[in-house]
């Protein structure tokens, strides 16, 4: 992949929050997946970690209980099971492959040829994969909260610009858009929100909770 082709990156406030561990799992998955594809944002994240490290160095030290160090030193030789490392699989970078449990996504029809695969959905938000046929227009929709959309394959365009593989679109309350998949191949995206989407004519709003969109 030509990494320098990525034009739309993660804004600093999201990277800082990710670095501090303060993003929902849904947003954190999109951020971790983008960083796996983007050297720019990896370097930025490392800069945020450096900033965090400076605050750790300067943090007020608290006395440690007498036995703790000995307890930990005594555990160093204990066997431990390393966490499984998920590598990229096809178009799915490591963290996304981990969320998919190294399985192919299970696609469900959403209408108009669009398919989705919900990875998680709870009160904090949802994250799903979207599969949009080449050239297909996704109905005009707005957002209640924040929506992050990361292109994994193909591309889409909307009123705000062109998004190729690796690009991240940030949608908020002000964005009403009609994304159209590029003509060459189906567009596959990873999309996370912290609120239900508002589709204008995709589907009656009443049905939205059923489809968790």
Site residues, other proteins (CB under 8 A): 3, 11-14, 16-17, 19-23, 25, 27-29, 31-33, 35-36, 39-40, 42-57, 59-65, 68-69, 71-73, 75-76, 80, 82-83, 85, 87-88, 93-95, 98-99
- Give the up-direction half-sphere exposure of residue 34: CA atoms within 13 A in the CB hemisphere: 34
Give the pairing type, strands 197-199 and 187-193.
unpaired
Q: How far is the CB of 35 from other proteins (least distance, A)?
A: 4
Q: Cα(127)–Cα(73) distance, rounded to whole angstroms?
A: 40
Closer by beta carbon to other proteins, 16 or else 134: 16
Coil, strand or helix at 99: helix
Closer by beta carbon to other proteins, 120 or else 180: 120
Closer by beta carbon to other proteins, 68 or else 206: 68
Q: How far is the CB of 13 from other proteins (least distance, A)?
A: 4
Q: How far is the CB of 64 from other proteins (least distance, A)?
A: 5
Query: What angle, rounded to 10 degrees, do the helices at 39-58 and 25-37 form?
Result: 120
Closer by beta carbon to other proteins, 52 or else 135: 52
Q: How far is the CB of 67 from other proteins (least distance, A)?
A: 10
Question: What length is written for the chain?
Answer: 213
């Amino acid at each position: 992949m030509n990494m320098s082709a990525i034009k739309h990156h993660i804004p600093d406030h999201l990277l800082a929050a990710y670095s501090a561990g303060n993003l929902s799992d849904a947003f954190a998955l999109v951020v971790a997946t983008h960083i796996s594809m983007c050297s720019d944002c990896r370097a930025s994240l490392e800069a945020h970690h450096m900033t965090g490290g400076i605050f750790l160095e300067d943090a007020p030290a608290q006395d440690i209980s007498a036995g703790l160090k000995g307890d930990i030193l005594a555990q160093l030789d204990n066997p431990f099971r390393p966490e499984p490392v998920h590598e990229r699989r096809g178009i799915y970078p490591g963290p996304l492959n981990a969320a998919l449990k190294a399985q192919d996504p299970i696609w469900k029809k959403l209408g108009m040829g669009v398919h989705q695969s919900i990875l998680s959905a709870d009160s904090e938000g949802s994250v799903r994969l979207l599969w949009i046929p080449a050239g297909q227009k996704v109905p005009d929709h707005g957002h209640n909260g924040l929506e992050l959309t990361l292109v994994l394959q193909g591309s889409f365009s909307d009123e705000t610009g062109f998004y190729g593989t690796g690009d991240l679109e940030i949608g908020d309350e002000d964005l009403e858009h009609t994304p159209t998949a590029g003509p060459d191949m189906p567009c596959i995206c990873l999309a996370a929100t912290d609120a239900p989407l508002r589709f204008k004519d995709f589907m009656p709003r009443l049905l939205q909770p059923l489809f968790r969109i």
